[in-house]
């Protein structure tokens, strides 16, 4: 039965999508059955995974959410083969701009925060891991993702300001745990885009250690900043395919091993 991990941080540009993509492929390389869900209307994860381009994805998570919202009695989803796509052994559900129109509908819906759960829960038996990439906000879409998750992985890029906003994210997680999803945990903080040798990195890391005070794990695998990551995305590949020996590739493999060892 799959563990559902949501990759979250309401800040943009902290490598949520890059981490979801590379963690999914690293887990797959370990022989795990993985489903990656793009839950951001920007569709960046879909761009990473759809080998023939975003426009080749006919049915997205927004369509499934719509079906769910519009079903009065029992919801009937299309065949899985119509909405689950494959990228070199990683299954995925794509997203596009239509997801942003779902937000308003969810707010008007009784129990709207459990809509994604209705779609994802039935898929648990098919996978070892379901990874959900989220949009940079703490709105109803992210709450939907938290409502179905077992764990949240928080990506943090160690910069000035990077700890600001963590309180709000953790408060949202605690509220979702209390009100909607009692099993929700925080698997840990994954440091991304790290410039290890800078003073700034060391200071922010120190602040983060004090902030988490051993109550929230910081993954040992820390992802270095390297141009190979940007290049790999540009080439439409995960970083292991693009440059197997690059430090980011090795770090994402270590992250996958840590995730598996937390089972
Ligand atoms: P988010 O999903 O949190 O908005 P992204 O995954 O889209 O963040 O990453 C933001 C940008 O940072 C992208 O352009 C990506 O190529 C770049 N990036 C992500 N991780 C790294 C890294 N380890 N080294 C260098 N650039 C990175
Ligand atoms: Mg993103």
User: Which of 26, 42, 49, 193, when mutated, tests ligand 1's pocket best, judged by the most ligand atoms within 8 Å of its CB?
Assistant: 193
Q: In this predicted model, what pLDDT tens digit does every residue of 32-75 receive, in sequence order?
A: 999 999 999 999 999 999 999 999 999 999 999 999 999 988 88
Q: How many Å separate Cα 77 from the centre of its chain? A: 23
Q: What is the pLDDT of residue 207?
A: 94
Query: What's the 41 CA to ligand 2 centre distance in angstroms?
Result: 9
Please state, in angstroms and rounded to a whole number, the distance separating the CA atoms of residues 185 and 146.
10
Structure pTM?
A: 0.97
**DSSP output for 97-114:** THHHHHHHHHHTSTTGGG
| Edge-to-edge strand list for the sheet holding 90-93 | 85-87, 90-93, 34-39, 129-134, 3-8, 151-156, 185-191
Query: What's the 233 CA to ligand 1 centre distance in angstroms?
Result: 9
User: Which of 49, 229, 233, 251, when mutated, tests ligand 1's pocket best, judged by the most ligand atoms within 8 Å of its CB?
Assistant: 229
> How many residues comprise the chain?
263
Q: Is the pLDDT of residue 263 over 80?
A: no
Whether the CA torsion 12, 100, 144, 36 is positive or negative: it is negative
Cα of first residue to Cα of last residue in the chain, in angstroms, is 11
Q: In this predicted model, what pLDDT tens digit does every residue of 86-129 receive, in sequence order?
A: 999 999 999 999 999 999 999 999 889 999 999 999 999 999 99
Q: In this predicted model, what pLDDT tens digit does every residue of 210-248 receive, in sequence order?
A: 999 889 999 999 999 999 999 999 999 999 999 999 999
Q: What is the pLDDT of residue 66?
A: 96
């Amino acid at each position: 039965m799959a563990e559902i991990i949501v990759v979250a941080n309401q800040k943009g540009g902290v490598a949520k999508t890059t981490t979801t993509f590379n963690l999914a492929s690293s887990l797959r390389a370990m022989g795990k059955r993985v489903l990656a869900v793009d839950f951001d209307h920007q569709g960046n994860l879909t761009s990473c995974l759809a080998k023939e381009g975003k426009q080749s994805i006919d049915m997205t998570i927004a369509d499934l959410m719509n079906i769910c919202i519009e079903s009065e009695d029992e919801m009937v989803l299309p065949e899985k083969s119509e909405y689950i796509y494959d990228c070199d052994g990683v299954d995925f559900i794509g997203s596009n701009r239509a997801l942003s129109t779902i937000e308003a509908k969810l707010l008007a819906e009784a129990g709207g925060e459990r809509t994604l759960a209705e779609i994802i829960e039935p898929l648990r038996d098919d996978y070892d891991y379901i990874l959900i990439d989220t949009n940079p906000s703490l709105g109803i879409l992210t709450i939907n993702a938290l409502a179905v998750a077992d764990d949240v992985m928080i990506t943090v890029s160690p910069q000035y300001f990077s700890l600001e906003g963590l309180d709000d994210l953790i408060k949202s997680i605690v509220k979702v745990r209390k009100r909607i999803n009692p099993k929700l945990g925080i698997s840990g903080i994954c440091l991304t885009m790290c410039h290890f040798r800078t003073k700034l990195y060391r200071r922010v890391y120190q602040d983060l250690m004090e902030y988490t005070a051993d109550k929230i794990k910081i993954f040992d695998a820390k992802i270095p900043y390297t141009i190979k990551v940007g290049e790999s995305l540009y080439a439409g590949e995960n970083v292991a395919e693009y440059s197997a020996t690059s430090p980011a590739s090795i770090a994402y493999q270590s992250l996958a091993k840590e995730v598996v060892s937390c089972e």
